[in-house]
Amino acid sequence: MNTAETPFEFVTVSYLTRIGNQSAGTLAELLTGLENCSDASIFHHTYQTLGSHHFLTEGFSNDFAQWVLSDTNRNDLAEQLAALDIRDYVSIAALRRDLCRVVGDFCAAFPHFAGQSALERFYFCESVEVTAPLGRKARTLDEFREGIAHLSHAGFYFHFISSRLRLKLQTNDFSHWLADGLGLTTLADSVNHVDIYTNTLDSSRSKLLRLIDRERRKA
Amino acid sequence: MSETLALARIPLDDYAELLGEGEIEELRALAKPLRGRSIEMINSTAIGGGVAEILNRLVPLAEELELNIKWDVMTGGEDFFDVTKAFHNALHGAPYHASPRDFEIFLAYNERNRAILPLDAEFVVIHDPQPAAVIEARKPGSNYWVWRCHIDLSRPNRAVWDFLEKFVSRYNGAMFSAPEFSRQLPIPQYLFYPAIDPLSEKNQELEPEFIAQVLARFRIDPQRPILTQISRFDRLKDPVGVIRAYRIVKRYFDCQLVLAGGSASDDPEGTIVLKEVLREADNDPDVRVIELPAWAPLEVNALQRASTVVIQKSLREGFGLTVSEALWKRKPVVASAVGGIPIQIIHKHTGLLAHSVEGTAYQIRFLLSHPEIAAKLGEHGHQHVKENFLITQKLKRYLTLFLTLARGS
């Protein structure tokens, strides 16, 4: 069995939600908020919310889309916002640009909707991140499997979802280490294709473990 | 004298069965840098009320993580608690004319408590307005002070808030139950949800035989759909509106309505509302109006578990933890989009929101017609509570807050 020179170190994460100073009561105000809010706010309402609502696998993508759907009743705009896939982004700046473009284009096309009051206001919040090492390391595929099986939801989310921004690559910590540490590029690629929008964190983990088990049987 | 409360330890591992070993391991990892560091929680009551209920469970869990935590209760006379009750209502937006004497009483008791309470922990957490002014005892730069506000401050009485804000602004941070409950402040403000304990009597699993006994005791038919609202008899909970919604549903479904809440005997307004409810019920044999004793967690648990649909048709609400209680039991919930309810009910994902009697009735009818959708909403609601509104998540939030404060963010 391959042994990696650099071990995989399992970490977990916890987020405090900081309440921001901005809120939006119309689509036009949402656009202003998107243009001016902090990166931590964009992260909170897209990446972080996907982790904390991972169990919703039908029609929930990010807080902006959900608010547009439930509080402004603009299904068409909500659909476009929900379709923005965080796996396509390696920077918050790029994601913000697309969020602003989608909302901006809609407001320009339907100015009469842009100023209509929403049922409830949208409050911009920010994530404050704290990480903690779990004291578990893996050098082999067996140890790696054991570590993943024991991870909390937040730990799994940290390595599998939010890692994209940290790595600045369109991949995740697990795939990155499988390819770089163990040279298992095919497995790494398969792991990276597990769909985080249509799976919960638990079902993503189960799929990942099945892929690893298949690889172990080959050895 | 202040009272330092000693509480029995609850094994953290008992939660692992419900949440998974990984979640408990995570709490231990986050707590590791805080081991032995001191925390002091201060509130104004040891028994009764949501804050005491939460601290009663939270403090032993923190102790098990080897945090040096203590819970102190401030003391005050009847005059102090009369003033703070008036402040509480005024901060919720009730009409109130504060007199200079009220502020003097408030400050005098806070000063007295400053002399009694230790206030020397590295992290001091002050709960609600009553002890907010003890921060005057803080020595500059000596320790971290945070204010946990359990009140909706979105429409406060100006005079009372202006008075309190002077103290609140001196804390290192403030925590609110919903973004809309917060104020513009010069200090960081954080979102801290209230929480339920899945192992408490109100939320633990129950034997089917016990649930059947409770239904029999209250003459509720287990064979027909049961719609339930658990809340005290208060106009803001709109029990009369619930009966009106039930009457619309009743045209289409042979269902029963249960309105259960704490006894109204010591609450003059509650007694009046109860009479209004009974008048509206008009001796309908399928409407059960149940006055529960002040502390009847197992009965509440059983009624929620026996329900087909749980309703929370409040006109105004704080956070509305009865919603989380129902969701934890995998119940489909129809609730008003007020206060903290939309945080718990993500419309069409973890339950259904309504804005009127007719809307409430429609959503109930929809759920009774589509039990498979009701079951899915209930399951998603359970997961939502598991991720966000359990006591273990609250503990995690506190650990994260202390780590954030200590690193200077």
pLDDT tens-place string over residues A91-138: 999 999 999 999 999 999 999 999 999 999 999 999 999 999 999 999
Structure tokens at A82: 């929900």
Taking the CA of residue A20 and the nearest CA in chain B, the distance in Å comes to: 8
Start-to-end CA span in chain A (Å): 7
Q: Which pLDDT score, from 0 to 100, does residue B382 have?
A: 97
B217 closest CA partner among B307, B285, B303, B284? B303
Q: Between vectors from CA B95 to CA B94 and to CA B96, what angle results, nearest 5°?
A: 110
Of all residues in chain A, what percent are helix, strand and coil, respectively (each to 5)? 55, 15, 30
Q: Give the number of beta-carbon pairs within 8 Å between A and B.
A: 98
* Rg (chain A; Cα; Å): 19
* Number of residues written out for chain B: 409
Q: Which of A58, A66, A122, A130 to mutate to test the interface with B (most CBs of B within 10 A)?
A: A130
Q: What percent of chain B has pLDDT over 70?
A: 96
- Residue B123 phi/psi, 5-degree rounding, is -125, 120
Q: Residue A46 in contact with residue A86, Cβ under 8 Å?
A: yes
Instruction: Kindly list the strands in the beta sheet with B3-5, ordered across the sheet, starting from the edge strand earlier in the chain.
Output: A122-138, A8-24, B189-191, B173-176, B144-148, B123-127, B38-43, B68-73, B3-5
**pLDDT (tens digit, 9 = 90+) per residue, B201-256?**
999 999 999 999 999 999 999 999 999 999 989 888 999 999 999 999 999 999 99
Instruction: Enumerate the H helices of A14-136 as residue ranges.
Output: 27-36, 39-43, 49-52, 63-71, 75-82, 92-109, 111-114
Whether B1 shows a pLDDT value over 80: the answer reads no
Structure tokens at A99: 């969020």
CB contact (8 A) between residue A16 and residue B337: no
Alpha carbon B224 to chain centroid, angstroms: 30
Buried b / exposed e along B254-283 (16+ C-beta atoms within 10 A): ebbbbbbbbbbeeeeebeebbeebeebbee
**pLDDT (tens digit, 9 = 90+) per residue, B192-211?**
999 999 999 999 999 999 99
- AA identity, residue A46: T
Nearest to B388 among A19, A52, A134 (CB): A52
Handedness of CA B78, B45, B138, B161 (dihedral sign): negative
Q: Chain B residues within 8 A (CB-CB) of chain A?
A: 20-23, 25-26, 29-30, 32-33, 176, 179-180, 182, 184, 188-191, 337, 342, 346-350, 353, 355, 380, 383-384, 387-388, 396-397, 399-401, 403-404, 407, 409
- Chain A residue numbers with beta carbons less than 8 Å from the beta carbon of B348 are 59, 70
Structure tokens at A112: 């009469």
Greater model confidence, B293 or B399? B399
Structure tokens at A198: 């249509």
Question: What pLDDT band is residue B409 in, cutting at 50, 70 and 90?
Answer: low
Whether B282 shows a pLDDT value over 60: the answer reads yes
B93 closest CA partner among B144, B50, B155? B155
Report how far residue B261's alpha carbon sits from residue B230's, in angstroms, rounded to the nearest whole number.
6
Whether A85 shows a pLDDT value over 50: the answer reads yes
Structure tokens at A134: 């779990």
Q: Minimal Cα distance from A150: which residue of B?
A: B22
Q: Which of B147, B317, B403, B407 to mutate to test the interface with A (most CBs of A within 10 A)?
A: B403
CB contact (8 A) between residue A55 and residue B176: no
Q: Please name the helix (run of DSSP H) or strand (run of DSSP E) that holds residue B299, with its range, or none.
A: helix B297-306
- Chain B residue numbers with beta carbons less than 8 Å from the beta carbon of A155 are 22, 26
Report how far residue A111's alpha carbon sits from residue A123's, in angstroms, rounded to the nearest whole number.
22
Q: Which pLDDT score, from 0 to 100, does residue B2 have?
A: 44
Q: Between vectors from CA B84 to CA B81 and to CA B85, what angle results, nearest 5°?
A: 85
Structure tokens at B60: 């032993």
Query: Residue B407: how many CB atoms within 10 A of its CB?
Result: 10
Structure tokens at A180: 């770089």
B319 closest CA partner among B154, B200, B151, B202? B151
CB contact (8 A) between residue A128 and residue B347: no
Nearest to A66 among B21, B346, B403 (CB): B346
